[in-house]
Amino acid sequence: MTDLDPRWRDAIGRHAETTPPTPAAWAAITDRAEHGAVDPAAPRPSRPSWLLAAAAVLVVAVGLAAVLAVRGGEDEGVRTEPPPGSTVAPTPGPGAPVRVEGFAGVLEDDEHGPEACFWGMAESLPPQCSGLPLPGWDWAAVAGEESAGEARWGSYHVVGDYDGETLTVVGTPEHDPTGETAPPFSDPDRTPPCDPPAGGWDSVDGEPNGAADRAAMEAAARTEPDVAGVWLDARHGPGERDVYTAAFTGAVARHRAELRELWGGPLCVVEREHTLAELQAAQVRTDGGPLMVGGLELEIIESEVDEIGNQIVITMTYAPEGTEEALEEDLGVPVRVEAPLRPAR
């Protein structure tokens, strides 16, 4: 899975052994169960996570439209149509479902009806997941499903009308023969954005070149106020050496010379537009909590800084056309939105 030293993998595993199940712990659990002293962040069965996600998407979508409405000088309030001139597509809502499409694992079991799971299924038998309800789903109309006990599941390309809470299927979902939900996510291209030296990256073998030197070089790069990112490539072949890329918003030659004094291994230094601090500041505004834009509260499922792409990556269930542009305008940095549901073509 990874190249983490077995020593540290074992050390992580030992964290499962340091707290035994004592009678006192069990007594605390039963007491909490009886008296309700449960953390409010606990999942509530009556309102499963997909509903929270769907609600979040609704807030985002409604918020985006409303932001543009406010900016356009119109009346405030929730609207399901974009203001004149807006590049944001109509947004989902109970009264205004939008036609969308995407790949999903679909599962029905004795816990729930057919639901679209965009974030993976647990590979048990039968598999487990919960997601977006699919009213009108008809297993007899689709191909390729599997079953075990009361569970039926399969992977499909689904077109339907999304209202923020459910996805009403339109037409016949197409079986995805790969058996895998097409991921909206993609690994970034970690290839160093510099031409390799004449002898190739593996020929760069200057001094100092130890692990501590490497760590010191990265630490030095990251403390520069104009650093935009630092990353390693992803080669793992025998004898291949890690190539560090360090990105800054200027003074590339100076930074390269300074880092060279700390580390003699393969190094690529490039220029990018936004500092890491800018990206982090923007990401914090979107990190799991509400994002205030134009006085409105927007909710994001997940976000992170993409140092390689010099951008923020934001995850939502559904992204209307124009979402990235609206977020970029507000956040002031490049944004890539990853969403399994997109407007149907």
Partner 1 sequence: MMDVVDLEAEHRALVESLFQTSYGELVGLASLVTGDRQMGEDVAQDAFAGLLRRGPLADPDAAVGYLRRAVVNQARGRIRRRAVADRPRPSPPGPAAAPVEDAALADDDARAVADALAVLPVRQRECIAACTLLGLTHAEAAAVLGISAGSVKTHVHRGTRRLALLLADRSPEDTR
Site for partner 1, residues 85 to 144, rule: CB under 8 A: 109-111, 117-124, 128-129
CB of 323 to partner 1, least distance (A): 18
Residue 282 contacts residue 164 (beta carbons within 8 Å): no
Tell me the window of 16-24, 54-62, 78-86, 197-205 that interacts with partner 1 (CB under 8 A): 16-24
**8 Å CB contact between 218 and 242:** no
**Minimum CB separation from partner 1 for residue 54, in Å?**
13
Shortest distance, position 200 Cβ to partner 1, whole Å? 17
Instruction: Judge whether 318 and 162 are in contact, CB under 8 Å.
Output: yes
Q: How many residues bind partner 1 (CB under 8 A)?
A: 83
Binding mask 28-67 for partner 1 (x = CB under 8 A): xxx-xx--xxxxxxxx-x---x---x--------------
Q: How far is the CB of 69 from partner 1 (least distance, A)?
A: 29
- Of residues 257 and 277, the one with the C-beta less far from partner 1: 277
CB 172 within 8 A of CB 141: yes
How many whole angstroms separate alpha carbon 196 and alpha carbon 175? 44
Positions 301 through 330 that interact with partner 1 (CB under 8 A)? 302, 304, 315
Q: How far is the CB of 254 from partner 1 (least distance, A)?
A: 20
Site string for partner 1, 161-200 (x = CB under 8 A): --------------------x-xxxxxx------------
- Nearest-Å Rg of the Cα atoms of the chain is 25
CB of 98 to partner 1, least distance (A): 22
Question: Could you report how far apart the first and last alpha carbons of the chain are, in Å?
Answer: 37
Residues 255-294 touching partner 1, rule: CB under 8 A, are 276-277, 280, 284, 288-289
Q: Does residue number 238 form part of the binding site for partner 1 (CB under 8 A)?
A: no
Look at residues 259, 205, 202 and name the one whose alpha carbon lies nearest to residue 227: 259
Bridge partners, residue 158, by sequence:
102
Tell me what percent of the chain is helix, strand and coil, each rounded to the nearest 5. 30, 25, 50
Identify whether 21 is preceded by a cis peptide bond (ω within 30 of 0): no
